[in-house]
Structure 1
Amino acid sequence: MKNGEIIMENERKETKDKYKIFADELLKWNKTHKLTNYNKEDILNQINDSLYPLEYIKDAKSAIDVGTGAGFPGLILAAAMPNTKWYLVEPLKKRYSFLNYIKMLLELKNVEIIPERIENSNLEQADLITSRAVMKTRDFLDLIKPYIKNNGTILLYKGSNVLDELNGINAKIINNKNRNYVFIKAQQWEK
């Protein structure tokens, strides 16, 4: 990241502006609701972290982000992928409220916020499921089985201990600094 910029090659100015609005609003909401501990630079880093694997998932028609929190990675990816229908699953009310506010403010017509846990939802199967640090990989895969299409992709944003969690799971890992982006094809793990 250069001078607090959002790194997005070939991205429209309109989308970059949405990320700046998102960052400013998250900082405002943090003062009252403490959604995250992030400062402006942290938020911009989290936006870039969310966007890093975009080229590998951009063709998905439907996606579910489990445990969206304050918007990472699901809301950020949804803004970059306007032709993909995104379901952001976030059971905490203050985060759900923030996500709905941002969805309306940024006019993200491809986003639906789900105010419950994934296992309590009635979501249909998606082409892509994303999540960042929700739980151990094997437990997560068990949890999302009913929600991923047979030819779908799971994208997990993991830290440095990811190899310990992938024992016996066929996955592709892309590393960027302290982040491991783990791609698992649904048909390659036992459902």
Structure 2
Amino acid sequence: MFTMEVVLKYFTEFTEKQLEQLTALKELYTEWNEKINVISRKDIDSLYLKHVLHSLTIAAVIDFRPGSQIIDIGTGGGFPGIPLAIFFPEVQFHLVDSIAKKLKVVQAVAEGAGLTNVTVQHTRAEEIKGRKFDFAVSRAVAPLKDLLQWSNPLLKKGGTQELANGLICLKGGDLAQEISESNARPRMIPVRDIFPEEGFEDKYLLHVAR
């Protein structure tokens, strides 16, 4: 059973409001997960480790500037978008997924936690037109090649943050073939180097500049 303490081990500068929002996630996800399953039953007890802290790997690597626009492709139950939206209250997060019932949970969790910087859209990323974002984030949704194909048209080039505008995704396992097939040369950071916790042994953060 991992409580919110696992997050507070690595991040200490939360406001009271952020702490309330993070605390609210457990009850909101537990309640909604019983109606619409977005997190495996065995993982709900490890919500703060496997979902919240894992999502915040991105926050450990880049400090998104206020006003940045981020798209979360294939957000599923709202990861990494919801924890990042709590962490960066002055950044706008657009969470998209092709499965409407998952977005119902995401919308309810965002509202229940009082997040005003989250929008959701029932669509596929490749169908979004006329919008540009600074970064695309994603967690274990699709092969890197596909993520790049979907995100590139949506991303502004350049940027002035620690990382160049682009795709930041969280992935696991042996990624050699997947990276080779993508024809990209991502910067790759083992999650264990950031959070030496059980279960993160084969997890990585990948960044590909636009």
By how many angstroms is 1:16 displaced? 2.5
Matched residue, 1:72? 79
Matched residue, 1:52? 57
Q: Among 179, 195, 202, which residue is 1:178 paired with? A: 202
Matched residue, 1:17? 20
Is 2:33–2:39's contact at 8 Å kept on the other side of the alignment? yes
Is 2:2–2:47's contact at 8 Å kept on the other side of the alignment? no
The size of the alignment, in residue pairs, is 186
Q: How many angstroms apart in 2 are the aligned matches of 1:26 and 1:153? A: 29
Which letter maps to 1:181? L
- The secondary structure found in structure 1 opposite 2:157 is strand
Q: Give deviations 1:3-52, integer Å, cap 9, x for gaps.
A: 55223232223213212211211111111222221444321111000012
Write the mapping of 1:1-191 to structure 2, written as runs, cut at 5 A: 5=5, 6-7=7-8, 8-38=11-41, 39-45=43-49, 46-60=51-65, 61-122=68-129, 124-151=131-158, 152-167=165-180, 168-176=183-191, 177-186=201-210
Which letter maps to 1:51? L
List runs of 5+ in structure 2 lacking aligned partners: 159-164, 192-200
Higher relative contact order (CA 8 A, sep 6+): 2
Q: How many angstroms apart in 1 are the aligned matches of 2:3 and 2:114? A: 27
Change in CA separation of 1:123 and 1:110 when aligned onto 2, cut-off 3 Å: farther
Instruction: Quote the sequence identity (%).
Output: 22
Which deviates the most, 20-29 or 120-129?
A: 120-129
**So what's the TM-score if we normalise by structure 2?**
0.81
List runs of 5+ in structure 1 lacking aligned partners: 187-191
Supply the RMSD in Å over aligned alpha carbons.
Answer: 1.9
Which deviates the most, 8-17 or 91-100?
A: 8-17
**So what's the TM-score if we normalise by structure 1?**
0.88
Matched residue, 1:189? none
